[in-house]
Structure 1
Amino acid sequence: MIYRLKPQKGDSIAVPQLVFARLGAAEEASVRVALYVLATGVTDPDKLCTDLRLRSRMTAESALAYWAGAGLLERYDENAAPAGGEPAPTPMTWAEITAASRTDPMIASLIECGQSAFAHALSRSEMEKLVALYLQEGYQPEVVMLCLAYLAGRDKRTIGALRHELKVWRAEGVVTGEEADAHLRLLDLRAKREAYVASLLQIQPDQLTLGGKKAIARWYEVYGYDDSMIQEAAVQAGPKRDLWYWNGILKTWNAKGLRTVQDVRGPVALSGASRSLRVDRPEPSGSDFLKDAVNRPRRHKRKE
């Protein structure tokens, strides 16, 4: 069968050459996201997940980050005023914060928590920025407090680090205190997984790049693999201790539907995975269907 491109009737869109240059390196989900964004202009991760039926919000976020790094998309400050729109809100003054604290006890609790996390008395400027996260940027006090405690445990004790981490959490869908608590458990789990993979690579966890950490999260959270599958990939890679080489192995297994070590090692893929795999016997069966073929009585099809 030979195919050729049908004539277009005005229903086409322009695709930058950059997308074609990345076809060999970009994952399938990333290519789908690029084409969807080019056609609609939509970059909302939740909308992408729904319309493209992506596996998780992380998949959409990773695809958007990939194309931003490639130069197809550009990042912008979500708090900056849009061109020709209303200007960004003016930071609250100390007098306004003092007045607001008389009717909102959460402001005093937030400042007290900030001073405890930063291990020093906050300056007036720091208090103004901290309270603005709650009153002007819409972060719930419980979320800010949990984020403060999280950063203090990593010795990141600045308002800039707090604002950055809160934006990351918001991008992950963290809005309420309960969601922040669940997110912290996920971050702790991710740290343990990164430490395990780093031990297999014989490096320190802090030597993992951001891209490497995202790949590790994808192995567990998107592909659904556990430590045993990561270890099996390391075993099959042999002396090649390279995270991206392992990533290629795990990506292939996921595409074939191989879910367990038994699937990977066994001659027959379980759970309906990869029916195209060749099955060879370790030992000959001993039966020869051609034996005595000449003397075998012929069978004729019955006539109805």
Structure 2
Amino acid sequence: MDDIIIAHEIMQEHEIERYFEIWRESVMRSRLTITAVFLKIANTTEPNTNHQVTSFLQSKLRKTDLLFQLSDGNHWGIFFLQSSDVEARAFLKRIFAILKAERKLQHIALNASITEIRNNNVMFEDLLVKNKEMLAGDEQLTWTITEVKDYSEQPTELVKVSIIEQNAIFRQVLESGLNRLDIPHFTLEVKNYEDGYSFLQSDSYKTGHLHLVIMNDILPRKNGLEILHIMRNMPNEKKFIIYMLSERNSEGAALNAYEGGVDEYIVKPFNLRLLEAKIKRTFARFWL
């Protein structure tokens, strides 16, 4: 490892901020998890140590990981895209073990902090300040790994829910059940309509939110299949999750519904808890 002191140029703090702003928004749009690791040398006066640390880190990172140096020259940052704090901790334990075992690097001791980012309530400057504060503790301690938990809470996404059903009692039963439904990471905003025409007049289906539509196939003033055709030909059609309810228990009716674009075809009568279980499973897949 004679070439360990040869460090290639790495990005600097001022260069990395614009990338971070893009990634931060991807946390919401694409549910991208970012984990930031910050490192600081603990107690060493050996020459060339900064170059050695830089080169060592460069040799251990994947092509998708981004290494940069802070403006004070005493800290390094690494952004791990689509990686959790568990993976970041495993990486740190691995490089700590290598540094302790490598004879030519035994004068180097590091401390590290980890921040898992699962929401966009974080500014780049605040991220740096919090982690530098975590690493500014007792200088006599070495090989420590601390964590910043301020940004690890996952965001909650609003989902529009429209129930389109002519039977008033059944409509109210569905609405009450869905209002009680607890789905991790999602908040449901439930509205009901007695026919297809009133649903289309509401314009609620034109938003960019995820939209769960639970509708009967037979409806006055625009039936379910007509509504299905309208929604599946809209620019935002991928935002719709469409459950069709029907009293027709035939393969032909189900086939027509699925070919038209429904996500679930449910024959009446049915167990309400089964419907709720299907909805939970649908949104669990959306979060993956």
TM above 0.5, yes or no, is: no
Structure richer in strand, relative to its length? 2
Higher relative contact order (CA 8 A, sep 6+): 2
Provide TM-score, normalisation by structure 2.
Answer: 0.20
